[in-house]
Amino acid sequence: MVPYPVIVTAPVFGLTEDLLPAPIDAPDPKMDAQKSNLQVFSSLVAMADEPEETMEFSGDESELEEEHNVVYPEIDAKLCRKTSIENRSSTKTGLQDLPAEIIENIFGYLNIRHLRTEVMFVSRYFHDILTSEDYWEVRLTGALRLSKSKRLKVNEIELEAMKSVGLERCVYELESARKLSFSDNCIKIECGASHYGLITKVKMLSYPLNHLALSGARDMQVGVYNTNYLDEGPSTFCVGTSSEHNGWVWTFDQEDGASTRVMSGGWDGFAFTYDMGRGGEMTKINTINVHSAVLCSRFEENLAIYGTFSKLVIGYDTRQGSEVFRLKNHSKSVLSVTASDKYIWSTGEDHALSCYDRRAGRLFKRIKFNRQSAAIQYHAPFLWYAGFDGIVRCFNSDMKLASKYDYGDGEKILDMSHTNGAMVVATPTKVRVWAPTLDTTLWTDGVPGSCTVDYRDGIVMSGGGSNHVNFYRYNEN
């Protein structure tokens, strides 16, 4: 069988003047080169269709090795990749023989999850398009357009942050959030089978548990949900409950590093670590006695950080179960905690936001506000602070105020979830989805008594005083 070599053909589709066909009476060297390449390709196809001949070799085997030890010229992989996308032959009419611009336009109508999990593995041509940064930058431009007159603005710092996370991920979040702006296409699924007390915390997990969600309540129960089956009713998507705690369940977090381990903390002063690698079954693998009510948490790889009722921020090594550090940066209970490689941030009932420098081993900065905050979140490169005054403040890496937004309309913000696509906040009367850099409401729903919210992959999850866990998502039917 004769192998097919790499044939680089001249472009057929073009937009520049030098690619337009020459006059009939004038010779065109590009067209001649293309015809020559097509003739060579046709002859190779004809040779490949001929039956293989079996040949016997008699002689010294070293001669055979020398004959086949051919040094082929180096092929520029980048040039071949670019050629495979832009310069494709038009002799066929299949989908994969269309120009990249048309294929990208077709991909624009498809869900990103479908593109990343199925379409990109159909062929090398599709894979090259869907792994190209140029394609995702173009799609990002479309995702930032809310309507003909409204468009989100992204500065260079935010764009670099999006690239560090992954443009395809950010575009997916933006498009999912934009779908929620159309209230007619947003459906609400309620579940009241898991709890009979006020919902105090909801948490949507990420990869590899991105199909699971958790809820905790004053009834001391932990509810587990499979978001892949939301359309089939609560009896199907409610996976089960756990009752390890002897007090109100206040906090959840998932371990960093694509882990199947999650942790919970409660008013009973205990923190439990579970392995959820078996389709949502919570297998307890570790118990830590914090000796104080656990109100908030941050679960890094092999390190659990807790904010407690006793005014402390405590770090535990989950492998050894021993205390690593103990910080006393607040004069009252710690309500929220988050961290990066460099800092540990915490906020409490003393109306203070504390920033602890992990490398220097000391308090870096402390900011006092008029009202307290129950929700802070670090989303590189910014720290987001939601206050009881209804204002969400954005701080940079130097703890300087970068911007602030009135997301609560005067109501106190009890919880928030920030992504590159949306800012979701919970107030005592409603759940609201906002655009991250434009003062625009994408979607809102009146939920009296709401106090906790989370958002991931186009699904909003909320809970509160109605004892119901609510899911909102775009109706694709």
What is d(CA 420, CA 443) in angstroms, rounded to the nearest whole number?
Answer: 16
- What per-residue confidence (pLDDT) applies to 66? 46
What is d(CA 131, CA 33) in angstroms, rounded to the nearest whole number?
Answer: 31
Residue 100: burial class (beta carbons within 10 Å; 0-12, 13-18, 19+): buried
- What per-residue confidence (pLDDT) applies to 112? 81
The DSSP bridge partners found for residue 417 are 424
Q: What is the DSSP letter of 388?
A: T
Residue type at position 452: T
Helix (H, G, I), strand (E, B) or coil at 5: coil
- What per-residue confidence (pLDDT) applies to 249? 95
pLDDT tens column, 240-286? 888 899 999 999 999 986 789 999 999 999 999 999 876 678 889 98
Question: Which residues, 6+ apart, have CB-to-CB distance to 159 below 8 Å?
Answer: none
Question: Which residues, 6+ apart, have CB-to-CB distance to 33 below 8 Å?
Answer: 10
Residue 294 pLDDT more than 70?
A: yes
H or E segment at 134?
helix 133-143
H or E segment at 296?
strand 294-300
Antiparallel, parallel or unpaired: β 382-387 and 261-266 = unpaired
Q: Nearest to residue 293, comparing CAs of 376, 349, 358, 372?
A: 349
- What per-residue confidence (pLDDT) applies to 160? 76
What is d(CA 265, CA 247) in angstroms, rounded to the nearest whole number?
Answer: 9
Q: How many residues does the chain have?
A: 477
Residue 16, CA distances (Å) to 88, 105, 454 in order: 17, 21, 49
SS (H, E, C) 330-368: CCCCEEEEEECCCEEEEEECCCEEEEEECCCCEEEEEEE
Split at pLDDT 50, 70, 90, the class of 1 is very low
What is d(CA 211, CA 276) in angstroms, rounded to the nearest whole number?
Answer: 11
Two structure tokens written together for 233: 């009713």
Cβ(382)–Cβ(392) below 8 Å = no
Peptide linkage before 381 cis (omega within 30 of 0)? yes
Q: Decide which of 10 and 251 is more confident.
A: 251
- What per-residue confidence (pLDDT) applies to 442? 66
HSE value, Cβ hemisphere, 13 Å, CA-based, for 63: 4
- What per-residue confidence (pLDDT) applies to 77? 45
Q: Decide which of 4 and 138 is more confident.
A: 138
Residue 463, CA distances (Å) to 130, 188, 220, 240, 385 in order: 37, 13, 15, 17, 21
Q: Could you tell me how many helices (H) and strands (E) the chain has, helices first?
A: 10, 28
Residue 75 pLDDT more than 70?
A: no
Cβ(72)–Cβ(103) below 8 Å = no
Residue 307 pLDDT more than 70?
A: yes
Neighbour order of strands in the sheet with 294-300: 294-300, 303-308, 313-317, 322-327
Neighbour tally for 188: CB within 10 Å: 12
Ranges 1-15, 84-98, 342-356, most confident: 342-356
- What per-residue confidence (pLDDT) applies to 240? 83
Across 31-40, 172-181, 399-408, least confident range:
31-40
What is d(CA 85, CA 67) in angstroms, rounded to the nearest whole number?
Answer: 35
Q: Decide which of 203 and 116 is more confident.
A: 203
Q: Nearest to residue 242, comparing CAs of 283, 211, 212, 208?
A: 283
Two structure tokens written together for 128: 């090259």
Q: Decide which of 443 and 352 is more confident.
A: 352
- What per-residue confidence (pLDDT) applies to 259? 86
Residue 15 pLDDT more than 60?
A: no
Percent of the chain with pLDDT over 70: 71
Q: Nearest to residue 435, comparing CAs of 179, 169, 177?
A: 177
Cβ(99)–Cβ(13) below 8 Å = yes
- What per-residue confidence (pLDDT) applies to 11? 30
Split at pLDDT 50, 70, 90, the class of 381 is confident
Measured distance between the N- and C-terminal CA atoms of the chain, rounded to whole angstroms: 50
Ranges 19-28, 39-48, 307-316, most confident: 307-316
| pTM exceeding 0.75 | no
